């Protein structure tokens, strides 16, 4: 393994002789399995050896203790830098370059030593160890929702730790209000709703299990929002065509991105639905596209549009890596993992910006709204549009009644008597 990357046998022997030798070889297996280049391996291994010797010098003899020395190691590397960083941006970039390989190395070791390690953080496990099991087994929440709860509660746990609370009984309405006020400074009222939902579920569980004597969930009030207060983030057909024209389909990333954008434009799929597509999602003989596990909990089937099929075939033949994973879309750079919904949205945002399309909050939903706009312009009913977009309720589709912005503006500015 090491001999594949290092020419001198003495170098491989020195790495194996290190107290991190076995861990580094485990990491190399992971790197090769995720298509990292030999150049990357040669650059990272000496960095890991330096980190290992630094931690050893501070009295560390166990891999489990390495993470405690990461910040000190990065600070020492920053001090030993021959040329000081010229700006805050370059300093930040240097720190990231020092931290990321070691953090990835530690994550790989944790996954290899504990195969059943949880994929999400479990905040407040010392207060309520059964909370996340309750969400999964009793409430029946999806893993995506549970991960979102864990993310929001991790922020709340940081607030609790900063206040040095003695236990859950020390929670009070004032602490909850201060936390929500701090979060409100960073997010909009609509985005604060899921945070409140996670807090209420956690506080109800504490009271239900007798961990606390007061049920504080009632004091967490969801911020008031109004239906149809916003307008869809749609763009015109010309803007969509200009966005698609920005994709350079001569490259692997261009072929992949063009196929992803076509799913957004033609079918109005969500970013999560595009990222979850598998080779079994397309029935080539029947020319049918199957979308399973939609947000509303149902499945859908669409006729496979020829232009979409051609884009997918082009990517499958000349871009998709050889992998046993059945997902369609993969990252181009190492690690060659299946893409996430965030990548789908970011790539849509990139091409909208490249095309010069001015729209608030550009992303995958911009193209989804544009698909809905074409259906509205074609005089389809809201029920048909909702079914096509995968809505559970017609209330979710009512927002598209406001898609014809220019027509509504003419009505608002025109003579009311003419309309009557």
The answer on 324 and 283 residing in a single domain is yes
User: For position 211, which CATH number holds?
Assistant: 1.10.150
Averaged pLDDT for residues 195-215: 93
Task: Report yes or no on 123 lying in a domain.
Answer: no
How many domains would you assign to the chain?
3
Q: 45, 79, 113: which is the final residue of a domain? A: 113
Residues with active-site annotation: 270, 295, 365, 368, 391, 400
Q: What is the pLDDT of residues 369-398, one digit of tens each?
A: 889 888 888 888 878 888 888 887 766 776
Banded pLDDT at 420 (limits 50, 70, 90): very low
Which of the four pLDDT bands, split at 50, 70 and 90, describes residue 419?
Answer: very low
0.95 exceeded by the pTM? no
Residue 119 confidence (pLDDT):
46
Cis before 335 (ω within 30): yes
In a domain, 418, yes or no: no
* pLDDT of 348 strictly over 90: yes
Inter-axis angle of helices 88-113 and 21-33, nearest 10: 100
Residue 125 located in a structural domain: no
What is residue 291's three-state secondary structure? strand
Report which of 47, 5, 56, 8 is spatially closest to residue 28, judged by C-alpha positions: 5
Distance CA 67, CA 48 (A): 12
Contact 38, 5 (CB under 8 A): yes
Asked if the structure places residue 118 within a domain, the reply is: no
Least-confidence region, from 156-160, 211-215, 393-397: 393-397
Q: Does the pLDDT at position 168 exceed 60? A: yes
Q: Which domain holds residue 150?
A: 131-219
Same domain, 64 and 161: no
In-domain check, residue 308: yes
Q: Are residues 106 and 175 in the same domain?
A: no
Mean pLDDT of the chain: 86
User: What CATH code is carried by the domain that includes residue 388?
Assistant: 1.10.443.10
Confidence of residue 116 (pLDDT cuts 50, 70, 90): very low
Indicate whether 115 pLDDT > 50.
no
Residues 210 and 242 in one domain: no
137 and 93 both lie in a single domain: no
- Using CA atoms, how far apart are residues 389 and 294, in angstroms rounded to an integer? 10
Query: CA–CA separation, 55 vs 102, rounded Å?
Result: 12
Tell me: do 399 and 271 sit in the same domain: yes
- Residues 153 and 291 occupy one common structural domain: no
> Does 120 fall in a domain?
no
Same domain (yes/no): 138, 272: no
Domain co-membership, 206 together with 294: no
Which of 385, 184, 370 shows the shortest CA–CA distance to 264?
Answer: 370
Position 90 in a domain: yes
């Amino acid at each position: 393994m090491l001999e594949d990357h290092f020419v001198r046998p003495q170098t491989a022997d020195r790495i194996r002789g290190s107290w991190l030798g076995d861990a580094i070889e485990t990491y190399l297996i992971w790197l090769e399995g995720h298509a990292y280049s030999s150049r990357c391996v040669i650059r990272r291994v000496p960095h890991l050896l330096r980190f290992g010797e630094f931690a050893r010098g501070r009295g560390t003899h166990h891999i489990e203790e390495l993470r405690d020395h990461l910040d000190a190691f990065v600070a020492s590397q920053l001090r030993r830098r021959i040329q000081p960083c010229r700006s805050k941006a370059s300093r930040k970039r240097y720190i990231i370059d020092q931290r990321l390989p070691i953090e990835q190395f530690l994550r790989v070791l944790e996954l290899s030593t504990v195969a059943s390690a949880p994929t999400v953080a479990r905040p407040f496990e010392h207060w309520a160890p059964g909370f996340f099991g309750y969400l999964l087994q009793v409430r029946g929440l999806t893993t995506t929702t549970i991960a979102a709860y864990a993310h929001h509660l991790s922020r709340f746990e940081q607030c609790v730790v900063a206040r040095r609370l003695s236990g859950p009984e020390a929670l009070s309405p004032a602490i909850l209000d201060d936390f929500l006020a701090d979060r409100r400074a960073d997010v909009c009222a609509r985005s604060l709703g899921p945070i409140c939902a996670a807090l209420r579920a956690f506080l109800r569980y504490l009271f239900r299990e007798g961990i606390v004597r007061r049920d504080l969930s009632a004091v967490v009030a969801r911020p008031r929002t109004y239906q149809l207060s916003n307008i869809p983030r749609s763009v015109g057909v010309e803007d969509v065509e200009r966005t698609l024209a920005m994709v350079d389909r001569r490259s692997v990333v261009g072929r992949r991105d063009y196929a992803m954008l076509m799913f957004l434009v033609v079918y109005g799929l969500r970013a999560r639905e595009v990222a979850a597509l598998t080779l079994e999602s397309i029935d080539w003989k029947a020319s049918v596209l199957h979308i399973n596990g939609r947000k509303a909990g149902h499945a859908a089937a669409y006729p496979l549009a020829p232009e979409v099929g051609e884009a997918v075939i082009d990517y499958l033949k000349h871009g998709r890596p050889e992998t046993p994973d059945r997902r369609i879309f993969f990252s181009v750079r190492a690690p060659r993992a299946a893409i996430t919904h965030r990548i789908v949205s970011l790539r849509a945002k990139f091409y909208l910006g490249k095309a010069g399309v001015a729209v608030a909050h550009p992303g995958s939903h911009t193209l989804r709204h544009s698909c809905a706009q074409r259906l509205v312009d074609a005089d389809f009913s809201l029920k048909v549009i909702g079914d096509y977009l995968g809505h559970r309720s017609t209330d979710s589709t009512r927002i598209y009644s406001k898609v014809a912005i220019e027509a509504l503006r003419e009505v608002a500015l025109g003579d009311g008597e003419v309309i009557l």
